[in-house]
Amino acid sequence: MKIKSESQLRELYGYPKGRAKDKVLNHLEKHAIHFIETSPFLVMSTSSHDGKQDASPRGGSSGFVKVMDSKTLVIPDAKGNNRVDSISNIVETGTIGVLFLIPGINETLRINGSAYLSTDTAYLDVFTSEKNPPKACIVIRVEESFLHCAKAFMRSKLWEGSAQIDRDTFPTIGQMLKDQLGSTEAPESREAMEKRYEKDL
């Protein structure tokens, strides 16, 4: 059966209760701030007016996302490939969802809210010490903040050494792109690609 309505969904799953229902805050408190200041990695989710979805990874040194106050976060838009999928969506709809991760910690922090792209020096100046300072920043106004349970990471064993595969058994991105694009050129090696990326870190 295809689920087509909220009532069908709730009949199947029921409703959240207890901590699952009560844990959503509309601001950042000390634990959320500490989580963000410790996190070196996030996944940012956006959508366009016509429903085009995008999820984009962002990373840096621990605390690369700056907490300005209990309602405001700033993400530096680090140098990339100029596809600008996520920030185009933000310019269109002004909405965002962010999932913060900390290596070794199975819980995650979810932030949902409004967002805009800014070139204000008040934000850019926060990142002037970076090797490659951003051209713009993503400013987030927090509407929802809550911790997400550890079950997905426990199931996947993501942080456990036993879950890691031998990289040499997996195709390089150079090989995958060569196959996907039907290129006749020799694929770029992992070592060459990582060396090329290093100048933009």
Task: Report how far apart, in Å, the C-alpha atoms of 76 and of each of 14, 41, 63, 136, 160 are.
Answer: 39, 12, 11, 7, 30
- Helices 173-181 & 190-198 angle (0-180, nearest 10): 100
Residue 157 has a pLDDT of 97
Domains of the chain by residue range? 18-156, 165-198
Residue 156 has a pLDDT of 97
- 83-98 CB burial, b ≥16 within 10 A, e <16: eebbbebbeebebbbb
Tell me whether residue 165 is exposed, middle or buried, using C-beta atoms within 10 angstroms of its C-beta: 0 to 12, 13 to 18, 19 or more. Answer: exposed
Residue 130 has a pLDDT of 82
18-156: what CATH class?
mainly beta
Please tell me the distance from the alpha carbon of residue 111 to that of residue 95, in angstroms, as a whole number: 11
Please tell me the distance from the alpha carbon of residue 97 to that of residue 9, in angstroms, as a whole number: 22
SS3 29: coil
Residue 199 has a pLDDT of 84
Share of residues in the chain with pLDDT > 70 (%): 100
Mean pLDDT of the chain: 95
Tell me: the pLDDT tens digits for 27-66?
A: 999 999 999 999 999 999 999 999 999 999 999 999 999 9
Please tell me the distance from the alpha carbon of residue 47 to that of residue 90, in angstroms, as a whole number: 7
Whole-model pTM: value is 0.94
AA letter at 147:
L
Unique residue bearing structure tokens 């963000």: 36
* CA diameter of the chain: 58
Judged against a pLDDT cut of 90, whether residue 181 lies above it is answered with: yes
Tell me: the pLDDT tens digits for 81-138?
A: 889 999 999 999 999 999 999 999 999 999 999 999 999 999 999 998 888 899 999 9
